Amino acid sequence: MPNKANARKALRKDDKRAQHNKIIKAEIHSLRVKLRKMVDLKNHPEAMKLALLVGKKLDKAQAKSIFKKNTVARYKSRLTKKVNALIKK
């Protein structure tokens, strides 16, 4: 347990930030799962809308340093590849 006041405050802020980041990560995860289900159902219009939404959320999370740059690029690349595969079929 921290002894100084500023260390106690820093600990409180860390806890709040961690909780906030956890919520954002969970939201992105659930959107990615929905997108994969749309791809499995071959629902191209819905998949396109979800892909744009997921990409936007990932970019915002990267801007706020919740995800690293390469992680976001990898997620977006994989999701885009799956959505584009629907067009070819």
Band (pLDDT 50/70/90 cuts) for residue 34 is very high
Structure tokens at 9: 């405050």
Total number of domains in the chain: 1
Return the pLDDT at 2.
Answer: 86
Return the CATH number at 77: 1.20.58.110
> pLDDT of 61-78, one tens digit each?
999 999 999 999 999 999
pLDDT of 58 reads 97
Q: What range defines the domain where residue 80 resides? A: 5-88
CA 56 to chain centroid: 9
Confidence of residue 89 (pLDDT cuts 50, 70, 90): low
Residue type, 22: K
Give one word for 2, left, alpha or beta, with left for phi > 0 and alpha for psi -120 to 50: beta
SS3 33: helix
Does the pTM exceed 0.95? no
